[in-house]
Chains A and B, each alone.
Chain A
Amino acid sequence: MRRIRRPSAHTLSLLEALSQRPRAWQYGYELSQITQLKSGTLYPILMRLSDRGFLESRWQPAQQPGRPPRHVYRLTSSGAAFAREAFARQEGEATRGEFA
């Protein structure tokens, strides 16, 4: 069975942002604003999630004329399952911490 590495706090924050609107396509800058992650942190996480099949992306025409199309992102179904598992694990650890 393939081992899934425990996601970092930054990854969790991004997964949370993507999970809040699971069917919506979100822009890189928008995700950066929600998660407070800088581009240098955000994009490597997006790349790794995409490599693992947890993220899908596509080009979307710009809403304002004269601007280039934008790359948009959302979780795949396996990405959503991965996010749920990560949140459950995080919650479990927090609960264990409270009663330790």
Chain B
Amino acid sequence: MGVDIAFAGEYHPTMNPGECPFSRRRFLQAAGGAAGALAASVLFPSLLPAAGGKTVDVGVASAASPAERARKAVALAGGMKSFVSRGDVVVLKPNIGWDRTPEQAATTDPEFVVAIAGMCLAAGAGSVRVFDRTCNDARRCYVNSGIKDAVERFARENHVGDALRIYHVEDRKFVRTSIPGALAIKEWDLYRDALEADKIVNVPIAKHHSLAGITLGLKNMMGIMGGNRGQIHYRLPECLVDLHRRVPVALTVIDAGRVLVRNGPSGGNLADVKSFGKAFASGDGIAADVVAAEMIFRLAPRDVGHIQKAMESGLGVSSVAQIRLVEG
């Protein structure tokens, strides 16, 4: 097997997002008034391309609470109604992968998840389905991440128990799915509910990852894959591109309230968690990842193999010049 993982090795796993050597905050403040496209192109000078195609908005929200951040980011990205239509069956895919608490920042913040579920329903979604294929025991992950309880409580209190449900993945619902034009995985077992959904809303948490450097939206979608997912890691960038080619994501909302900056993706140690207080949202998952990678981890697309590969794939933005930052 000719395996060549494009791993630039430029990541900074021990970096504290609050202590960037370049004062991004000041820079962004200066650029804030300028047109987003211009700001983006200045952000990544090394990648200044001949900008082509349409621009996409990436909402970057700062707020005190996870729910506020989620709402603000989605609003900045165009509002939930531009992604979810009335009657849609929505799959909401948070990261519930680990037997960790929200404070440990290995799983998406439950308030964040619930806020987005609420927005989907408010936008008229017929049903919202929440699940993840976990790494630790699924029951423990659902409970200790706080996500099961938060979603069920929200559904109960708002009397939307039929429309909003969180459930466990079942083996029998994985469907062997062929992926035309695949780079690495011509077929794989994918979760039926994700394949049949009208819209997928991807709600990852931003964190360090020992192979990919970081994990954001693109990688979070591994949660709909069945089978021996470990083997995905042999050619992670190609596999993730293949997955997104088959299962397009309507909206990506990245939780960057707490960020695990070391020992990811599972973490555990609170000393590895930094407060960042932001959220990112975009209808273009690649754009959301590009912006989050830069702003949180100061990584350019070429520094993260799978983001680079995704930009080459034509599945979304192919250059940073196409990205318009909308901050709030």
- Does A pair with B? no
